[in-house]
């Protein structure tokens, strides 16, 4: 049994607490001994298993204690770096996987659209009833095969936009790094990292929004395109779709727009110029900045040389070549309301980015009423042809606005758009004459003046400035309501002195006047130049009981994917109180009923408005309104030559248009004026102009005549005369001489010379 004992001791060595097995009783035969050994072996095996299990259990206990200690032990969890590392790696892996899945689901499953994509490269301008007014399209719709494109032209684009086009698989990480370094060293963006494949993906599938999400989609789609399309096909589609400025899409279109050539007729410098356009089509356009265009073209030529596409001699010869173009404009596929649609195109950059505008495919929904537009065009044409021929004016303009929402309903900028595109509604700055008196008297009423406040209409001079009435006729004592009705100039100037320049200018601005207003005495008579659109819009404030809404022509803009990217939301702002507006409307109704605007009367509804004539009848105006509509008319000559006409002709033109447009319009009445006109408390404070004592042709004087102060203010303009005449439009009238400029001068001394500013009022 020694052998058994030795083995037993080996197994029981260590920390085991199991009792040593008792030896089996001896039996004298070997056979019996051998039969007892198997139970001993099984016992030893069981003991070993138990010991192993105990060790495992103890190990697990220690691990569990360690994990639990992270949450319950004295050491803070955030100091267990391995825990956070594991959590971060695990969470990052989950997020990365989820992000990749989301990215895959957000892009098209196939790049087949690249082969069939047709760019909607027009801007479509629509009237309020969805009628197409104008479509502006490309010069050509030519699509070229890769073999039809000159190799030198493709090389110019590759050298500029994607040097490693043949080597990368959609995304050029080396190019991204190179561009980042170049931009960092230059201190600005001088090189982009987008491949031609990425740019094509952006054109076909994505918008121009600069976000990380869009860039990731672009990356992944470019890789997918490279897997499914050949390099030649990608390059071919890119060269046919890339925007190259000035309404040109693709190289065939650009060759025609900039040079009136086909691609096969282009020279090396011309090819290089086109290849330099994709990154900034407007900034590098030779039509916009010839110097920048040449600098960009020369960079392209140097890159072509560096890439081995041209020799140094070819590069130098091309660089020495000046920029030359032969412009061919984009097609106008539709033509209606020409002045209005040109105005809309000028307004577009205010509401959409240049990137969105450059890629076109836009639908612009406007406020234009096509029936009203037709009536306006007919009225303007008839007036110029009939009255203009013998009254001496060759041009006319008209605009109609819904004052309740500021929507422009009709706009005619001249008699013939095809002869001259100058828009006299928005671009012509002219002296408004007596139409400006409306803002002066609105200020007076807002300051608490009664419309029955009286002034002496007599020869009058203040600090060298002498306003004259039309025909040098004076009416004696007259209230300001009648002075407006008969357009009396002397009373207008005296009222301005009592009200003040600053309040008058402020009220005019609130009502919608945007042009600068010069604080001179002749401001009362319309010396500061305005345009017809702002003047008409400002009158609309009175039609809406003192609330002004900015005039606008664009209602909505929709991109090529049907997304509304702009919608008008102009809110009216109170400019004057309702009482002031209703009193002024009552006064302006008297102008139409009994005064200079009688030619504007409508049979079935009330009309309020004001005539205006600048010196020598150079400008003939009428601005009139009903509750639902305000319309402005201007007649005159572009060269500022005097006419022999009268403002009554402008009122007649207004009537000619309005008679047609109000046929199916509900008759609405103006609000009643307040019963209390005397002793009203104003909403603003008058700021009288307290200059030196006025020189009056009569011993009696107005309130303003008796005020004096040390401050001297002289109108340094030469005289100007402003008049309204109710005489027949064929009669000729004489006006006092005037100069075109007026300036304000503040001085403590009186003027060394007396000047006469003959601002004549009309009886028309």
Among 103, 106, 276, 113, CA closest to 201: 113
With contact defined as beta carbons under 8 Å apart, do 508 and 516 qualify? no
Strand partners, 557: 364, 566
CB atoms within 10 A of CB 437: 30
Annotated active-site residue 147? The verdict is no
Residue 10 has what DSSP assignment? H
Q: CA distances (Å), 510 to each of 89, 573, 574, 575, in order?
A: 62, 9, 8, 5
With tokens 């900045």, the residue in question is 289
CA distance 319 to 533: 48
With contact defined as beta carbons under 8 Å apart, do 571 and 427 qualify? no
Strand partners, 331: 137
Q: How many CA atoms lie within 13 A of 340 on its CB side?
A: 35
CA distance 634 to 428: 10
What DSSP line would sit under 471-533, residue for residue? GG---EEEEHHHHHHTT-HHHHHHHHHHH-HHHHHHHHHHHT--S----SGGGGGT-S-B-HH
Annotated active-site residue 29? The verdict is no
User: Which pair of tokens denotes residue 626?
Assistant: 């009903």
**DSSP β-ladder status, 123-126 and 363-366:** parallel
What DSSP line would sit under 451-479, residue for residue? TT-EEEES-EEBTTB----GGG---EEEE
With contact defined as beta carbons under 8 Å apart, do 119 and 204 qualify? no
With contact defined as beta carbons under 8 Å apart, do 405 and 569 qualify? no
Taken in order 97, 101, 102, 108, is the CA torsion positive or negative? positive
The rounded radius of gyration (Å) of the Cα atoms in the chain is: 43
Q: Helical H runs in 563-667?
A: 578-594, 647-661
What phi and psi values does residue 608 have, to the nearest 5 degrees?
Answer: -120, 145
Kindly state the helix (H) or strand (E) to which residue 103 belongs, with its residue range.
helix 81-106
What DSSP line would sit under 30-51, residue for residue? HHHHHHHHHHHHHHHHHHHHHH
CB atoms within 10 A of CB 49: 10
CA distance 606 to 587: 12
With tokens 């009923």, the residue in question is 593
Residue 564 in 3-state DSSP?
Answer: strand
What is the helix, strand, coil percentage profile of the chain, to 5?
Answer: 45, 10, 45
List the catalytic residue out of 161, 365, 391, 534. 161
Nearest 5°: CA angle at 434, between 503 and 446? 30
List the catalytic residue out of 111, 285, 434, 582. 434
With contact defined as beta carbons under 8 Å apart, do 447 and 499 qualify? yes
Active site residues: 161, 434
């Amino acid at each position: 049994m020694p052998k058994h004992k030795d083995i037993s001791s080996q197994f029981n060595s260590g920390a085991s607490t199991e009792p040593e097995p008792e030896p089996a009783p001896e039996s004298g035969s070997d056979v019996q001994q051998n039969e007892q050994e198997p139970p001993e072996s099984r016992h030893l095996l069981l003991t070993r298993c138990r010991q192993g299990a105990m060790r495992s259990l103890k190990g697990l206990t220690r691990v569990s204690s360690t994990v639990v200690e992270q949450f319950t032990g004295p050491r803070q969890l955030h100091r267990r770096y391995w825990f956070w590392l594991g959590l971060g790696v695990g969470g990052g892996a989950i997020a990365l996987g989820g992000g990749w899945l989301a990215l895959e689901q957000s892009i098209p499953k196939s790049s087949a659209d690249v082969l069939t994509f047709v760019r909607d490269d027009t801007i479509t301008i629509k009237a309020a009833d969805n009628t197409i007014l104008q479509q502006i399209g490309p010069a050509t719709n030519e699509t070229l095969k890769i073999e039809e494109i000159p190799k030198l032209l493709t090389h110019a684009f590759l050298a500029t936009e994607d040097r490693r086009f043949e080597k990368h698989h959609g995304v050029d990480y080396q190019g991204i790094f190179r561009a980042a370094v170049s931009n960092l060293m230059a201190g600005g963006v001088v090189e982009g990292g987008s491949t031609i494949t990425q740019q094509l993906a952006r054109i076909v599938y994505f918008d121009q929004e600069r976000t990380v999400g869009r860039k990731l989609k672009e990356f992944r789609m470019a890789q997918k395109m490279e897997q499914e399309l050949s390099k030649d096909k990608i390059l071919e589609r890119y060269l046919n779709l890339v925007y190259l400025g000035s309404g040109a899409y693709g190289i065939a279109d650009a060759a025609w727009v900039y040079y009136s050539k086909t691609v096969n007729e282009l020279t090396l410098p011309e090819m290089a110029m086109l290849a330099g356009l994709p990154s900034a089509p407007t900034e590098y356009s030779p039509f916009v900045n010839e110097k920048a265009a040449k600098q960009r073209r020369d960079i392209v030529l140097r890159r072509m040389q560096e890439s081995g596409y041209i020799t140094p001699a070819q590069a130098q010869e091309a660089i020495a070549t000046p920029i030359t173009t032969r412009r061919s404009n984009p097609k106008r596929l539709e033509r209606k309301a020409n002045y209005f649609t040109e105005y809309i195109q000028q307004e577009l950059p205010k509401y959409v980015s240049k990137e969105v505008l450059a890629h076109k495919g836009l639908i612009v929904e406007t406020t234009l009423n096509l029936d009203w537009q037709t009536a306006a065009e007919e009225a303007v044409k008839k007036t110029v042809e009939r009255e203009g021929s013998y009254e001496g004016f060759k041009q006319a303009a008209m605009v109609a606005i819904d004052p309740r929402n500021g929507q422009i309903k009709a706009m005619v900028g001249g008699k013939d758009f095809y002869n001259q595109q100058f828009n006299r509604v928005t671009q012509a700055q002219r002296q408004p004459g007596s139409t400006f008196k409306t803002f002066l008297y609105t200020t007076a009423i807002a300051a608490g003046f009664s419309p029955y406040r009286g002034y002496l209409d007599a020869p009058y001079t203040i600090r060298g400035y002498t306003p004259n009435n039309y025909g040098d006729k004076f009416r004696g004592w007259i209230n300001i309501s009648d002075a407006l009705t008969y357009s009396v100039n002397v009373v207008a100037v005296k009222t301005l002195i009592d009200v003040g320049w600053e309040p008058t200018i402020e009220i005019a601005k609130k009502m919608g006047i945007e042009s600068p207003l010069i604080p001179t005495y002749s401001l009362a008579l319309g010396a500061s130049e305005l345009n017809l659109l702002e003047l008409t819009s400002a009158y609309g404030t009175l039609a809406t009981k003192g609330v002004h809404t900015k005039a606008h022509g664009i209602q909505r803009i929709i991109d090529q994917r049907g997304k509304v990217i702009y919608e008008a939301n102009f809110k009216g702002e109170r400019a004057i109180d309702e009482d002031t507006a209703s009193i002024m409307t009552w006064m302006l109704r008297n102008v139409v009923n009994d005064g200079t605007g009688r030619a504007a009367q409508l049979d079935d509804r009330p009309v309020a408005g004001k005539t205006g004539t600048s010196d020598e009848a150079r400008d003939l105006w009428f601005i009139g309104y009903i509750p639902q509509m305000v319309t402005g008319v201007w007649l005159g000559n572009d060269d500022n030559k005097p006419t022999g006409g009268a403002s009554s002709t402008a009122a007649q033109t207004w009537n000619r248009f309005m008679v047609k447009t109000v046929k199916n319009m509900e008759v609405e009445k103006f609000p009643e004026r307040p019963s209390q006109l005397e002793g009203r408390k104003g909403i603003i404070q008058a700021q009288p102009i307290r200059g030196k004592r006025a020189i009056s042709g009569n011993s009696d004087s107005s309130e303003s005549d008796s005020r004096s102060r040390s401050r001297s203010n002289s109108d340094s303009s030469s005289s100007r005369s402003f008049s309204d005449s109710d005489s027949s439009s064929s009669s000729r009238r004489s006006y006092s001489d005037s100069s075109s400029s007026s300036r304000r001068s503040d001085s403590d001394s009186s003027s060394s010379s007396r000047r006469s500013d003959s601002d004549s009022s009309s009886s028309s």
